[in-house]
RNA sequence: UGGGGAUUCGUCUAGUGGUAGGACAGCAGACUCUGGAUCUGUAUGCCGAGGUUCGAAUCCUCGAUCCCCAGCCA
């Protein structure tokens, strides 16, 4: 999969911005990345971040990081820091860090301006009354009895709301637009609500806080943002966005909407992810099964892979569900090029080489990364008793199985050809405990001087040199493609989403790893050292498996057998 | 007859009046000291019906389906 030569997927926003520059509507490009600091960011956000970042970068513009902290009840500084950290990790750079709360004073002045123009009023109705008079999707709303309030009275009331003279819910400031507007957003939307809450930055200074609609566009304008890029659900807010700036006579940012990213077998709803964390279905916001950025990072996914993936998905207005396998392809692509190869036996069984000297140890030369010659070579100890994967031996081989079975010869990677001579079983259970074989000393290094071939090469770890480790295997968290749909999350949880293997045997070099170190365990997949590991007792997470043609053949055979 | 958005292989996405292309997934094969990687080949698609045109995914008309909106959330 090449990247830069691929035709660019969806770029209607890039095109629109180019037109704006050409027409002179804007002389420069400035976008903003507007997270609400109320939770951890997930891969769905990355699409938006990338579009904001890429659009600015494409035209020599800049990106502001603006925290949308207009609701003190939900927002916390902790999340601000987490979001900044995640953004940096992704490699997205911002020119300026701002907060919606930076503009509370100016925004209030602008509100006063609208009140003076007779375009906003204080409504004394209760929330229920406001809701009841809004009308429905098909029926118009009705005017508030306070709609005709004189300007002076509105000004006085607004000032006293600000000072904190009224209880929460008792009054709001509303824009005076049209209660019969076919677009519900335009039916006298609430601009300020009373909230006697402590704000993470402004403390107790304010008793009224702006709604999204009243804050966001005005902040965009104040910051000279040229393009306010957001997801489709804001399309219907655009008339209001434009109405405010028009009435105010301020700098007019252009809002452009794109469709958000949906990934199959993943959970993007913040509320539902929170539930997964709280009920203990996952172990935290950084659980490697989650598509939160912290989860992906711990899982071992590189930021470059995430960015390449969202770039490939592109920017369109189509509702879409991107298949997880596309994301995995980008993860593999990235990891394949940069991961050091190591040998690790996940489900070990002993392989005894009967004709190999008891105390002999050889150092075998191995390639670190066939995709990158600069990664060099390493040595791996080899001896009489090895561990191999249980799956690499079958007493009675299925069709097309080329690994170890009695009488068959295979190559031990970087070592010798060995021929299987038999298997030792536990007399009580009948379970295989040891595979036996003989080796051909002439095949040292892995090639036969007589030119004979083997159909399979298997990996191994010397038993007396092996490092024991825990390895965590992950599968998709959900069995359903769209677990967000409907209720009953418990029903679509994949019971096999985590499998912990405790007796894994690794080559000696793997004893000393730091959390975040990534490797390809040959023939098994890509793995990343987890922070739970101790020196000498590593813990690895499986990021993603290798493409497994054999698994496919076996699965196909099973299906045919049944049919 | 509430308003607004969308519809191209299984999935995502190019194409904007001139041979429907790419990626992932699938299938078949080559190669291989990873059944990995790489390479080759291959099947599958314009929501529907009319119309305009020498020619329509693209323009027009009518229809279908899906998504969003009735927070003092963002």
Given this model, what pLDDT does residue A487 score? 60
- Tell me whether residue A464 is exposed, middle or buried, using C-beta atoms within 10 angstroms of its C-beta: 0 to 12, 13 to 18, 19 or more: exposed
Cα separation of A543 and A524, whole Å? Answer: 11
Nucleotide nearest to A216 (CA to C1'): B74
| Res A556: pLDDT | 82
**Exposed e or buried b per residue across A525-540, where buried means at least 16 C-beta atoms within 10 angstroms of its C-beta:** bbbbbbeebeeeebbb
A94 CB neighbours strand B below 7 A? no
What are the tokens at A33? 């990345």
Q: Determine the distance between A26 (CA) and B55 (C1') in angstroms.
A: 40
The enclosing H or E element of A210 equals strand A208-210
Q: Is A270 a catalytic residue?
A: yes
Catalytic residue among A113, A201, A260, A283: A260
- Asked if residue A209 keeps its beta carbon closer than 7 A to nucleic acid strand B, the reply is yes
Scan residues 238-297 of chain A and list those with Cβ within 7 Å of strand B: 259
A447 Cβ within 7 A of any nucleic strand B atom: yes
| Interatomic CA–C1' length for residue A101 and nucleotide B74, angstroms | 15
Chain A residues 295-354 with Cβ under 7 Å of strand B are 312-323, 325-326, 329, 332-333, 336, 341
Query: What is the C-alpha separation between A37 and A76, in angstroms, rounded?
Result: 6
Confirm whether any atom of chain B, the nucleic acid strand, is less than 7 Å from CB of A361: no
The distance (Å) linking the CA of A481 with the C1' of B4 is 28
pTM of the model: 0.95
Positions of E strands within A29-184: 30-33, 62-67, 96-99, 120-123, 172-175
Residue A174 annotated in active site: no
pLDDT tens string, chain A, 563 residues long: the values are 333 344 466 789 999 999 999 999 999 999 999 999 999 999 999 999 999 999 999 999 999 999 999 999 888 899 999 999 999 999 999 999 999 999 999 999 999 999 999 999 999 999 999 999 999 999 999 999 999 999 999 999 999 999 999 999 999 999 999 999 999 999 999 999 999 999 999 999 999 999 999 999 999 999 999 999 999 999 999 999 999 999 999 999 999 999 999 999 999 888 889 889 999 999 999 999 999 999 999 999 999 999 999 999 999 999 999 999 999 999 999 999 999 999 999 999 999 999 999 999 999 999 999 999 999 999 999 999 999 999 999 999 999 999 999 999 999 999 999 999 999 999 999 999 999 999 999 999 999 999 999 999 999 999 999 999 999 999 999 999 998 766 678 889 999 999 999 999 999 999 999 999 999 999 999 999 999 999 989 999 999 999 999 999 988 887 766 53
Gap from A259 CA to B50 C1', Å: 32
The domain A344-459 having CATH identifier 3.20.20.150: the answer here is no
Question: CA-based angle A522:A524:A528, to the nearest 5?
Answer: 85
- The pLDDT score that the predictor gives to residue A2 is 33
What does the alpha-carbon distance between residue A349 and residue A385 come to, in Å, rounded to a whole number? 10
Q: What's the CA–C1' distance between A264 and B63, in Å?
A: 32
pLDDT of amino acid A457: 98
pLDDT number for residue A3: 37
> What is the C-alpha to C-alpha distance for residues A159 and A277, in angstroms, rounded to an integer?
42
Find the nucleotide nearest A123 (Cα to C1′): B72
Please enumerate in sequence order all residues whose Cβ is within 8 A of that of A97, keeping only pairs 6 or more positions apart, or say none.
A64, A65, A66, A67, A84
Q: Which nucleotide is nearest to A411 (CA to C1')?
A: B33
Is A384 catalytic? The answer is no
Q: For chain A, give every domain's residue range.
A: 11-258, 270-340+469-559, 344-459
A429 touches strand B (CB under 7 A): no
Give the pLDDT confidence score for residue A296 in this predicted structure.
Answer: 98
Q: What is the pLDDT of residue A485?
A: 63
Which of the following CATH numbers is that of domain A11-258: 3.90.280.10, 3.30.70.100, 3.40.50.620, 3.30.565.10?
Answer: 3.40.50.620
Q: Do A344-459 and A270-340+469-559 have the same topology in CATH?
A: yes
- Round to whole Å and give the CA distance between A532 and A523: 24
DSSP-assigned letter for residue A373: G
Is the predicted ipTM greater than 0.85, yes or no?
Answer: yes
* Residue A131 CB in 7 A reach of strand B: yes
Is the shortest CB-to-strand distance from A549 to strand B under 7 Å?
A: yes
Domain A270-340+469-559 has CATH 3.30.70.920: no
- Protein-to-nucleotide distance from the CA of A399 to the C1' of B3, whole angstroms: 62
- In whole angstroms, what is the distance from residue A418 CA to residue A275 CA? 52
Nearest residue for B15, CA–C1': A7
Outline where DSSP puts E strands in A24-108. 30-33, 62-67, 96-99
Alpha-carbon torsion (A259, A261, A263, A267), positive or negative: negative
A28 touches strand B (CB under 7 A): no
């Amino acid at each position: 999969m090449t990247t830069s030569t691929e035709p660019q997927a969806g770029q209607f926003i890039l095109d629109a911005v180019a037109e704006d520059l050409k027409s002179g509507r804007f002389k420069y490009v400035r976008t903003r990345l507007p997270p609400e600091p109320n939770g951890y960011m997930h891969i769905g956000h990355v699409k938006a971040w990338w579009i904001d970042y890429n659009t600015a970068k494409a035209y020599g513009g800049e990106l502001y990081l603006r925290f949308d902290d207009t609701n003190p009840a939900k927002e916390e500084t902790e999340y601000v820091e987490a979001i900044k950290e995640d953004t940096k990790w992704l490699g997205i750079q911002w020119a300026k860090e701002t907060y919606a709360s930076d503009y509370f004073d100016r925004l209030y002045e602008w509100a006063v301006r609208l009140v003076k123009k007779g375009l906003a009023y204080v409504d004394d109705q209760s929330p229920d009354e406001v809701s009841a008079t809004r009308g429905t999707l098909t029926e118009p709303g009705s005017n508030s009895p306070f709609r005709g309030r004189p300007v002076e009275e509105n000004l006085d009331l607004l000032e006293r709301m600000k000072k904190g003279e009224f209880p929460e819910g008792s009054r709001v400031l509303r824009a005076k637009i049209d209660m019969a507007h076919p677009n519900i957003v335009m039916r006298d939307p609430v601009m300020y609500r009373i909230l006697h809450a402590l704000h993470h930055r402004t403390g107790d200074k304010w008793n009224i806080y702006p709604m999204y609609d009243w804050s966001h566009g005005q902040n965009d304008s104040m910051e000279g943002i040229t393009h306010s890029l957001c997801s489709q659900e804001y399309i219907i807010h655009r008339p209001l966005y434009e109405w405010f700036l028009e009435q105010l006579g301020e700098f007019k940012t252009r809002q452009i909407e794109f469709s958000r990213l949906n990934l199959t077998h993943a959970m993007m709803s913040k509320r539902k992810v929170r539930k997964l964390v709280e009920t203990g279905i996952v172990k935290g916001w950084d659980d490697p099964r989650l598509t939160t950025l912290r989860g992906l990072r711990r899982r071992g996914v590189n930021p470059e892979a995430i960015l390449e993936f969202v770039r490939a998905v592109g920017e369109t207005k189509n509702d879409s569900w991107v298949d997880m396998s596309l994301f995995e392809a980008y993860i593999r692509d990235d990891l394949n090029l940069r991961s050091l190869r190591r040998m690790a036996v996940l489900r070990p069984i002993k392989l005894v080489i009967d004709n190999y000297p008891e105390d002999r140890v050889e150092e075998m030369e191995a390639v670190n990364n066939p995709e990158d010659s600069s990664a060099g070579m390493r040595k791996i100890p080899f001896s009489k008793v090895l561990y191999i994967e249980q799956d690499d031996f079958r007493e009675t081989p299925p069709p097309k199985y080329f690994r170890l079975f009695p009488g068959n010869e295979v190559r031990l990677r970087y070592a010798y050809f060995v021929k299987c001579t038999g298997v030792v079983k536990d007399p009580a259970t009948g379970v295989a405990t040891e595979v036996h074989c003989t080796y051909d000393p002439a095949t040292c290094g892995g090639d036969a001087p007589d030119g004979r071939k083997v159909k399979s090469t298997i990996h191994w770890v010397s038993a007396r040199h092996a490092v024991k480790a825990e390895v965590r295997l992950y599968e998709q968290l959900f069995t359903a493609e769209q677990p967000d749909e409907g209720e009953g999350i418990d029903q679509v949880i994949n019971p096999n989403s985590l499998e912990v293997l405790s007796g894994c045997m690794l080559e000696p070099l793997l004893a000393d790893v730091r959390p975040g170190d990534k490797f390809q365990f040959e023939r098994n997949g890509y793995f990343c050292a987890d922070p739970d590991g101790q020196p000498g007792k590593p813990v690895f997470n499986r990021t993603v498996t290798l493409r497994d043609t054999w698994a496919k053949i076996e699965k196909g055979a099973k299906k045919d057998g049944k049919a």
